Amino acid sequence: MSRLGIIGGSGLTQLESLEIVRREMVRTPYGEPSGPLIIGKLDGHEVVFLARHGYGHTIPPHKINYRANIWAFKELGITKIVAAAAVGGIRDDMAPGKLAVPNQLIDYTYQRESSYFDGGDSGVEHIDFTYPYSQRLREILISAAEVAGIEVAKEGVYGVTEGPRLETAAEVNKFEGDGCTMVGMTAMPEAALARELGLDYVTCAFVVNWAAGRSDTIIDMKDIEKYMLVGSKQLRQLLAAVLPLL
Ligand code: HPA
């Protein structure tokens, strides 16, 4: 049985009740990952965990070394990754507190190292990315949620912004017009890098605020923190349901 890789996002810099076996700082050709990867047991199942913003949440989304992070998982033999992500809800059915397993994304980022195939010695390759998330892993997450009675949106389109600022209301209108149902800052290039290395990758998004202009007020960080707590609890429950199915 292969170990599951878990990437924690904002609000998930550590995993509740993870029994830590060891920490490993993996050196990669792309520099250092966000921190040592934590190898441990979650409900008796071996997992490898990494907080993408660092364990003290010190790395903003546009400064994360995504290439080193994904490389490090591959180096430790990981073939499947569940990535947590806090997002803003754009469409009516993406209210704060909602958990979602997006099936599509749109990349609006513009200044990240986004590929292992950088030409020269690294070569030039064009991966298929029609369906950016692993369909098999998405189905496992969705059926685990159903069995455990956890409500999840079975689809969603994740618009990925450069950040670290939040969006303007007009930007969110544009994203909605493009088809995005949620907005966040970290799904890219993470998902594409995982595909380049042949890893199954899925995002579990939790909605922590209404996206800019989608509520009567401006975005309040206190509310976001509250929903991050809700989201990380739901995600922990979902992981408990997913692990026995892998
Ligand atoms: N926009 C972008 N990223 C986010 C948001 C948002 O509203 N909420 C959480 N991450």
DSSP-derived secondary structure letter, 154: S
Atom of ligand 1 nearest to the CA of 212: 7
Total domains in the chain come to: 1
- Residue 209 Cβ inside 6 Å of ligand 1? The answer reads yes
- Predicted confidence at residue 1, as pLDDT, reads 54
Convert the pLDDT of each residue in 32-63 to its tens digit: 999 999 999 999 999 999 999 998 889 999 99
Q: Ligand 1 test: best mutation among 167, 172, 215, 220, most atoms within 8 Å of CB?
A: 167
Any idea which of 16-20, 71-75, 206-210 has the lowest mean pLDDT? Answer: 16-20
Q: Which residues form the domain of 216? A: 4-245
- Residue 84 Cβ inside 6 Å of ligand 1? The answer reads no
Q: Residue 176: which of 58, 92, 112 has the closest Cα?
A: 92
Q: Show contacts of 214-217: CB within 8 Å, 24+ apart.
A: 214/88, 214/89, 214/90, 214/172
Cα(52)–Cα(59) distance, integer angstroms: 8
In CATH, what number is assigned to the domain containing residue 213? Answer: 3.40.50.1580
Asked whether the predicted pLDDT for residue 176 surpasses 90, the reply is yes
- Complete DSSP assignment for 89-131: E-STT--TT-EE--SEEEE---SS---S--SGGG-------SS
Cα(60)–Cα(112) distance, integer angstroms: 12
Cα(230)–Cα(76) distance, integer angstroms: 30
- Residue 234 Cβ inside 6 Å of ligand 1? The answer reads no
Convert the pLDDT of each residue in 93-121 to its tens digit: 999 999 999 999 999 999 999 999 999 88
Closest CA to ligand 1's atom 2: 184
Residue 48 DSSP SS3: strand
Closest CA to ligand 1's atom 7: 88
